[in-house]
Structures are given as structure tokens and as C-alpha cells.
Copies of this chain bind each other. A is one copy, B any other.
Amino acid sequence: MSIATVSRVLNNQPRVAQATRERVLHVADELGYQPHSFAQSLARRQSNLISVVVPAMTSYFFLEVLRGIQDSLADSGYDIVVHLAKARKDAEVQFERSLRRGRSAGVVVISPTVLSAIGHRIERARTAIILVDCKHDDFDSITVDNVRGGFQATRHLVELGCERIALVMADPSSPPAFDRCSGYREALAKFDLPYSDSLVASSTGTDDGFTEEGGYRAMRKILDSGERPDGVFVTSDVQALGVLRAATEFGLSAPGQLKVVGFDDIPLLRHAGITTIRQPMYRLGSLAGGRLLERLADAKLPRLHVVEAPDLVVRGTTSTARAGEVEQFPEAVSVAAMGDH
């Protein structure tokens, strides 16, 4: 019984006698033997590690996406190494590390903060790479249609009769925030409502401004300037919390004097009754994991850009009818596959 035979059995290779196979399996089980994955990787010239690079945002978004990735990779034999990138510069370092030193088979990069930091460096990578929540022509990406989300939110406000619709956005350098803003402007244009700079404020700072405090300050800015919007689209639920706080300070309550639409639909915040645009976070993760597996199996696959559609979820901040009950308006998912350039 040679070591080679054992290897064959453990890897379910054909040319082994049934008797030998059983004997090996039996002994291996008895000894609690586990192949050394590093040695395997070295000999096979392929890793069983997949890196997930995420920004240090303490957000629920990351958690859900990670869950999706993890689930989709559960039976694949790959283990997941998480690289939390604290700062922007850190993201670059983390990425390089995960790519080279860690010898991952593939990498999932979540969120645009990271992408913009990595920039061109990302291009020369030979590993399988999937982008989540950010887009780049050279890599597969799984994103949410933020423009459409912004449009839906704004349209909802228009349909409710709002005529002075404000926008509280996060740091404009964050692609999702920027895109949601674009949707807002598109909707205004489509419904013949004027765009006014004084109705728009962006919150910056920690987590690209996706914070309660950021939302609060941005809304204060608008209100302090004397503007009195009758509706406001906020680029995240967390910020919407701050917007509501600012509104309350000015004696404005939702949905009466001010209708508010957020973005994300964070489960933990459902009780707050914020009308919002739901992102399929878990799904983004599982799609990314699935695609990574496909690409790992065939590196020559054409680039795939999946764009998931967000849903409007109506709650208390825009509607008094059946308060507490969740109405949904799911829309179809659009997938765009494009060949290489």
C-alpha cells in the first residue's frame, strides 16, 4: 500500500481496487486523517482559498453579502479568507496580499470604495475576480441598479403628490450614492419637476457618509437654508434615520409634512417604518459566489455583468394606509451578458 494509492482513494480517482479502497478509507477514518490542504494546493498548483475583500464599513450590507457568498461556496471545498480593508490605502494592500501572498484561487471584491482605491492595479491580475456592488469592464460584476432605485424612489414621491423633492445623498464619490442621485434627477426630469441645488445635500465622513449623523447634518443643511421640501429621497436607511430626526426638530413629521424614502431595507430597521428601496443583498453575494465558481471552472468565460433590480417597499414614512404592513412592488431582474472587448 503506497502513499500514491492512498492519495488516489482520497481523491476518488478510478483505478483502485474496491477492497483496497475500503481498507484505506477505513484506516483513514480511524486515524481521523485529514489531508494537509497546503500541501495539496502546492502539489496541485491550485488554491482552495477564496478571498473576500470588503471595506470596513460596519454595515449590515457586507454581512448579508458575505452570507450569500459563503452559502454559495459551502459545498465547493473552498474556504473563505476575509480581508477587511480599514482605509482606502489599506484596501490596496489587502487586495495585493489576497491576490499574491495568499494565493487565492479567486477574489470577490465588495464595494466601490475598494475598487476606486485599487484602480488600475486590479487589471493585471490573473486570478478570477468578481466585483460586487461596483462595476468595471474588465471583470465580472454583480450590482444593483442604483439609478433605477433612485428613479423608483423619486417617482413614488411624485406619485404621492410631492412637488419639492429633496435629495440627501452620501459622499458623491461613492458610485452607489452617485447613481442613486442620477436616478433622482432622471425622475425629476421625466416628471417635469425642476432640479434645485438647494434641495440637495450630501453627507460625507465615516463610511462614505452612510451614517445617521451624516443624514442628520445633510437634512439640517437643507432645512436651515429655509427650504421646505415635501418629500425627500435618502440614499440609505441609516441616513434616513438622521433625516427624520432633523425633520422632527423642525416640527415636520412623516408622512404628513414630509414624505421620506430610504434605500437598503435593513431588516433591523423595519420597525422604524421607513419606506425604502430594497436591495437583494444576500442574492448579490450568492450570485457572486456562483459566478466565481463558474469562472474558476472556465477562465475563458466572457465577462458577465449582472444587474439586479431593487424593489420599492412602502411603509409609514410615505403612507398612512395600513401602517405597519409591508407592500411590495417587485420588478423583474435584468441580466446583461457582454462579450469581451
Q: Does A250 contact B (CB under 8 A)?
A: no
Give CA–CA (A78, B84) in the complex, Å. 13
**Of the candidates B80, B97, B268, which one forms a contact with A81 in the assembled complex, judged by CB atoms under 8 Å apart?**
B80
Is A238 at the interface (CB under 8 A from chain B)?
yes
Does A103 lie within 8 Å of B66, measured CB to CB? no
Decide: A34 and B82 in contact? CB cutoff 8 A: no
Answer yes or no: A160 CB below 8 A from chain B CBs.
no
A82 touches B84 (CB 8 A): no
> With A63-B58, A66-B82, A103-B37 given, is the CB distance from A268 to B271 under 8 Å?
no
Alpha-carbon separation in the docked complex, A74 to B56 (Å): 13
Contact A64 B58 (CB under 8 A): yes
Per the bound structure, the CA–CA distance linking A64 and B86 in Å amounts to: 13
A119 within 8 A of B: no
Interface string of A262-278 (1 = CB under 8 A from B): 00001111111000000
- Contact A101 B38, CB 8 Å, known A58-B64, A60-B60, A268-B60: no
A161 at interface by CB-CB < 8 Å: no
**A80 contacts which chain B residues (CB < 8 A)?**
81-82
**Interface stretch of the complex, out of A39-47, A194-202, A302-310:** A39-47
The answer to whether A32 has its CB under 8 Å from any CB of chain B is: yes
Question: Does any Cβ of B come within 8 Å of A228's Cβ?
Answer: no
A283 at the interface (CB under 8 A from B): no
**How many subunits of this chain does the assembly comprise?**
2
| A212 located at the interface, meaning its Cβ lies under 8 Å from any Cβ of chain B in the complex | yes
Residue contact B35 to A38, C-beta cutoff 8 Å: no
Question: With A32-B100, A42-B38, A80-B81 known to touch, is A238 a contact of B47 (CB < 8 Å)?
Answer: no
Query: How far apart are the CA atoms of A41 and B38 in the complex, in Å?
Result: 7
**Cβ-neighbour of A34 out of B86, B101, B268 (below 8 A):** B101
Q: Is A241 an interface residue (CB 8 A)?
A: yes
> Which of A55-71 touch B at CB < 8 Å?
56, 58, 60, 62-64, 66-67, 70-71
Give the nearest-CB partner of A41 in chain B.
B38
Q: Which residue from B42, B84, B238 sits with its C-beta under 8 Å from A67?
A: B84
Q: A83: which B residues are within 8 A, CB to CB? A: 79
A245 at the interface (CB under 8 A from B): yes
A86–B96 Cα distance when bound, in Å, is 30
Question: Is B38 a contact of A212 with CB atoms below 8 Å?
Answer: no
Closest B residue by C-beta to A64: B58
A255 to chain B, nearest CB (A): 18
With contacts A66-B82, A266-B268 known, what are 10 further pairs, Cβ within 8 A?
A: A34-B100, A36-B42, A36-B103, A37-B102, A37-B103, A38-B39, A67-B84, A79-B83, A81-B82, A238-B268
